[in-house]
């Protein structure tokens, strides 16, 4: 087992489950890209320096996508909590899919729209 494979679960253990899946699949994607580029270099289809540049570009792209997805999830979670905190009796889910009882705070739907 490689060092990065041992540490990967520790890094993402406390993240949202959908982020965990996204990170794991991104890791698999980068591993496949690395293997593909290594094979291309071995078969003299591209130069090693060019393969490094390609891998850097792909890695940067993956980081940009991950940051974008992470921000959208956090924004959506914040908005969901804000709206649900103003709702009447009901249930909501926490970050781990556990059901939590929402606070009793009856309001009208037009009050929710003011905050959105």
CB 104 within 8 A of CB 95: no
Comparing CA positions, the residue from 98, 68, 61, 105 lying closest to residue 83 is 105
For residue 60, the model assigns a pLDDT of 86
Taking only the tens place, the pLDDT of each residue in 44-87 is 999 999 999 999 998 888 888 777 776 766 666 666 666 556 55
Query: Which sequence spans correspond to the domains of the chain?
Result: 3-115
- CA distance linking residue 3 with residue 7, whole number of Å: 6
Taking only the tens place, the pLDDT of each residue in 12-25 is 666 677 777 777 88
Comparing CA positions, the residue from 38, 56, 34, 35 lying closest to residue 47 is 38
Tokens of 112: 């929710």
Whether the model pTM is above 0.75: no
Mean pLDDT of 32-46: 95
- CA distance linking residue 64 with residue 32, whole number of Å: 19
């Amino acid at each position: 087992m490689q060092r990065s494979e041992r540490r990967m679960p520790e890094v993402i253990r406390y993240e949202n489950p959908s982020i965990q899946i996204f990170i794991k699949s991104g890791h698999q994607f980068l591993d496949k890209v690395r293997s593909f580029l290594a094979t291309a270099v071995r078969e003299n289809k591209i130069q090693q320096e060019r393969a490094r540049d390609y891998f850097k570009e792909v890695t940067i792209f993956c980081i940009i996508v991950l940051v974008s997805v992470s921000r959208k999830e956090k924004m959506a979670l914040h908005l969901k909590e804000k709206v649900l905190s103003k709702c009447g009796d009901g249930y909501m889910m926490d970050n781990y899919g556990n059901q939590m009882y929402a606070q009793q705070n009856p309001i009208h739907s037009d009050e929710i729209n003011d905050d959105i």
